[in-house]
Structure 1
Amino acid sequence: MDARARELARIIWDHLVLSGPLSQADVILALGCHDTRVAAHAARLWHEGWAPLVIVSGGRGKITSGWDETEARVFGRVVREHGVPEGALLLEETATNTGENITASRRLLEERGIAVERGILAAKPYMTRRALATAQRQWPGVGWSASAPELGFEAFGADERQFIELMVGDLQRMVVYAERGHQVPAPVPAAAWAAFEELARLGYDGHVIGRPVPPAGS
């Protein structure tokens, strides 16, 4: 892997990854994806007593379209294997993107009469910032926090190109989706945006939406 690409990717990683204190919540919402370490992390949060309920959300997305099962079914199996009982687990199997993870989970919980005042989003480390901004727009009125497996940048070396392309796409979505009203605005530092632009020019554009646009106010 090109050393310059890794250097730029690290800049984006440092912006996208959120870490902060958690508070007691009503639900842990695990955002479905191709990385089952997120499901294991959601189970750990449950065992630590952060919330009494885990909901795993995901149909099939851009990476998991070829899976035989929905992301929610795969995640649900991992959560059970990590000791979360059936009565503390809900599966939401329709969502195909982050916004739908939030809205479909909200609908499912409301149908079951489960009130949510505080929630924890379990996501990949580099999805935490965007997940939080999305939840704050798609399910306002809930006090959201985000949590991820304790994995550093180097833990994602198995498929570095895919990893970098996903981060490039997520960084762009922080701007584009805020402009489209899908998530709350979250300023992108100039250095992170410059890293996005250079990586896109270097060909790491597999998940870029259309033509890159400059972040508002930059």
Structure 2
Amino acid sequence: MTLPDAVTKDAQLLWEYQLMGHSPRRCSVAIGLGSHDLGVADVTAEMYRQGMAPLVVFTGATSRTTRERMPRGEAEHYRMRAIELGVPSDAILVEPQARNTGENIRFSRALLEEQGVPVSSVLLVSKPYEERRAYATARKLWPDVKFVSASAPMTLADYVDSIGDAHLVVDMLVGALQRLLIYPAQGFMISQQVPQDVLDAYERLCAQGFTSRLIPDAAQTE
């Protein structure tokens, strides 16, 4: 499916805004946030191999999207993938209960505290279009830790090709932006400034029906 040029341009604005632009650096631990995308496990494994973190946490249960593809749970499938890529099993902790980004952070923090792992910095690995959401959530729920965001280095076009559904990718971008707008007021994440051109692109995409990932009846602004 090929999207109109105007839609692609607006989606590109949302995509670029979601990327935090952090340079990877060595952290106390790498946390890979569960999802349908095994690329998160690939990036986390690569960060480990590069010496960016001595320990990896994979966090995630299952969802409607992953129930059939990852029947053992997202975190467990990530663990298996990372071991295939050369990460030793004793360098991986698994948190198998989290069902949203907030739980990913809270439950991973609790697991690390339970294991007695001192944490001053976290390499936070997510899907590209959820870098900013993950970062904003982590900053709210774990404010005394420094976070460095990471994801697969790919373009929007590459990501669309990997998913195979351009309309769905735009829906996901719109949904991710909506949450950045409404969640700070609900206490789920820190507030971040959204440039006007990104807001305008978001409104245009909503008006054109890219709304399947929106939270129904939610206010569109904080």
Q: Which TM-score band (shorter chain)?
A: over 0.9
Per-residue CA distance 1:49-102 (angstroms, 9 max, x = gap): 011001011111353244422111111111111100011001111111111110
Distance in 1 separating the partners of 2:3 and 2:151: 27
In structure 1, the residue matched to 2:198 is 192
Q: TM-score, normalised by structure 1?
A: 0.94
C-alpha displacement of 1:191: 1.3
In structure 1, the residue matched to 2:111 is 108
Matches within 5 A, 1:45-194: 45-67=47-69, 68-157=71-160, 158-194=164-200
Asked whether 1:41 is paired with 2:43, we answer: yes
- Contact 1:188/1:215, CA 8 A, preserved across alignment: no
Per-residue CA distance 1:86-129 (angstroms, 9 max, x = gap): 11001111111111110010111111111111111011111111
- Contact 1:197/1:212, CA 8 A, preserved across alignment: no
C-alpha displacement of 1:214: 4.5
**What code does the residue aligned with 1:30 have?**
G
**What code does the residue aligned with 2:3 have?**
D
Q: TM-score, normalised by structure 2?
A: 0.92
**What code does the residue aligned with 1:188 have?**
V
**What code does the residue aligned with 2:12 have?**
R
Give the percent of matched residue pairs that are identical in Structure 1 and Structure 2: 32
Distance in 2 separating the partners of 1:162 and 1:73: 26
Number of positions where the alignment pairs a residue of Structure 1 with one of Structure 2:
216
**What code does the residue aligned with 1:2 have?**
L
Task: Identify unmatched segments of 5+ residues in structure 1.
Answer: none
Distance in 1 separating the partners of 2:13 and 2:217: 21
Distance in 1 separating the partners of 2:29 and 2:64: 26
Runs of 4+ in structure 1 over 3 Å off: 211-216
SS in 2 for 1:119: strand
Per-residue CA distance 1:131-174 (angstroms, 9 max, x = gap): 11110001110011101111111112222122111111000101
Distance in 2 separating the partners of 1:33 and 1:201: 28
Distance in 2 separating the partners of 1:186 and 1:211: 22
CA 1:5–1:125 in structure 2 vs 1: closer, same or farther (change >3 Å)? same
C-alpha displacement of 1:44: 0.3
CA RMSD of aligned residues (A): 1.4
Distance in 1 separating the partners of 2:3 and 2:44: 33
Task: Identify unmatched segments of 5+ residues in structure 2.
Answer: none
Give the alignment partner of residue 17 of structure 2, picking from 15, 20, 30: 15
C-alpha displacement of 1:175: 1.2
- Contact 2:120/2:144, CA 8 A, preserved across alignment: yes
Per-residue CA distance 1:176-200 (angstroms, 9 max, x = gap): 1111110011111111112112212
Is 41-50 or 15-24 further displaced after alignment? 15-24
